[in-house]
Amino acid sequence: MTEAPAKFDEMHRPDGAIRSAYGDYDLWYEQQAQDLLRRKHFEAESNFRRTGITFNVYGEDEAEERLIPFDMVPRIIGAGEWRKLTRGIEQRVRALNAFMYDLYHRQEIIRAGRVPERLFRNNEAWLPNMVGFTPPGGVYTHIVGIDLVRTGPDEWFVLEDNARTPSGVSYMLENRETMMAMFPELFTRVGVEPVSDYPRRLAKSLAACAPKATVGKPVVAVLTPGIYNSAYFEHAFLADQMGAELVEGTDLRVIDGRVGMRTTAGFQPVDVIYRRVDDDYLDPLTFNPKSVLGIPGIMDVYRAGGVTIANAPGTGVCDDKAIYSFMPEIVEFYTGEKPLLPNVQTWRCSEPDSLAYVLDNLAEVVVKEVHGSGGYGMLIGPTASRKEIAAFRAKLEANPTNYIAQPTLALSTCPIFTRKGLVPRHVDLRPFVLVSPDAIDITPGGLTRVAMKKGSLVVNSSQGGGTKDTWVLKD
């Protein structure tokens, strides 16, 4: 196995000099009293508690609410660098949407031998109900989160794709609002692209995907599983910011071929449903008959053109890490271009040679479940115990098709604020992309997640990670 590249610090050069993107911020920071910054740090934490910005953690303490750590040192990306990133993100999102269309129609990519059929034959995220159906406007992936990691000055990789129900945008918005409230003078010194108009752009993008049955201005609603869902804060936040209704399955019903929303004046037709409910729970008549979270009959209305569901059912295929491993082929097949943003090298444990390599190098690689998320169901070899490695070896040998493996990347670091001053911590980045029939809209920045523990590579909120405000500099 090749050695991971040297660690890259995004603020400091190896000789300690400040990189250009952080120049103005560093001048400001050096002028601040440490006592003041410590007070601001506690202010931010108090604000997040007061606002209710928490994340429900499932496991030993069922539905325990925790505060997501917020770090007040921004992650800063230069304008030119962001332009290069957006070209790669847009190319990938176009390919994902084209792939979804092809997958549920002629499956040309399978016929061409570029992607094996077995990936779909036993894939629970692939929905036969979607075969032959085209969503309104031809859009499958209305909201996409592309997770990126950096290993060097010009080295960005896509770590995974989130095309089912990507979360985290509310934290991006609250992080910026908190920073502007605490340090207004800083934003007069550093030109930063705004993100506060994301809810307006989201509402506009969703409305542009309204079905043909729409009469007048499209009615948009956010469908939530309820208050016990881990991302409920975000569901309520986005509905409020968009001026949309926040609804649960019990608030909706199928009436005369449309989905009606309960109001004080009776049931009102809903045109677009931004759903934060998994496929299996959307319609008990089509999927899980025990579901109480969805709307009986909504899939019939959807297929008849009476409502738009965003993201489209069946897009979870794109979140599959086995599919991810074929993304270079997928991008080239649908765009005719080489990927501008490369994948992380990936070994498919379903393939005998790859499995043999992974088993021989478990202490050096990261192993992930193909359907896993949130930092669960994975092994980070260099930090795992012998017992953990032995347990994963048994899992791999028993069910190799359920896993992929990747090298342990030396993720870039950004400084976080501590009592001892600035210290480096590993980060990733989730830009948010809005897709409508005529446009792909990429919010400048996104959600930077940071591993708060020294040496940790796990940035997920459910695993103790925190977040930062992400700044894209103006030209």
Query: What is the distance between the alpha carbons of residues 137 and 438, in angstroms, rounded to a whole number?
Result: 9
- Which pLDDT score, from 0 to 100, does residue 6 have? 46
Alpha helices in 383-430 (DSSP H): 386-398
Instruction: Give me the domains of the chain, ranges plus CATH numbers.
Output: 1-127+141-194+318-344+411-475 (no CATH), 345-408 (3.30.1490.270)
- Which pLDDT score, from 0 to 100, does residue 66 have? 63
Residue 297: which region, alpha, beta or left (left: phi > 0; alpha: psi -120 to 50)? left
Nearest to 322 by CA among 350, 343, 303: 350
- Which pLDDT score, from 0 to 100, does residue 2 have? 30
- Which pLDDT score, from 0 to 100, does residue 4 have? 39
Q: pLDDT truncated to tens, each residue of the chain (475 aa)?
A: 233 334 899 999 999 999 999 999 999 999 999 999 999 988 887 877 777 665 554 444 444 556 788 999 999 999 999 999 999 999 999 999 999 999 999 999 999 999 999 888 778 899 999 999 999 999 999 999 999 999 999 899 999 999 998 999 999 999 999 999 999 999 999 999 999 999 999 999 999 999 999 999 999 999 999 998 888 989 999 999 999 999 999 999 999 999 999 998 899 999 999 999 999 999 999 999 999 999 999 999 999 999 999 999 999 999 999 999 999 999 999 999 999 999 999 999 999 999 999 999 999 999 999 876 655 678 988 888 999 999 999 999 999 999 999 998 889 999 999 988 899 999 999 999 999 999 999 999 999 999 988 888 778 776 678 999 999 999 8
Query: What is the distance between the alpha carbons of residues 203 and 89, in angstroms, rounded to a whole number?
Result: 21
- For residue 192, with 0-12 CB atoms within 10 Å meaning exposed, 13-18 middle and 19 or more buried, which class applies? buried
CB 140 within 8 Å of CB 311? yes
Query: What is the distance between the alpha carbons of residues 35 and 301, in angstroms, rounded to a whole number?
Result: 59
- Which pLDDT score, from 0 to 100, does residue 65 have? 58
Q: Is the dihedral of CA 242, 245, 248, 252 positive or negative?
A: negative
- Which pLDDT score, from 0 to 100, does residue 52 have? 62
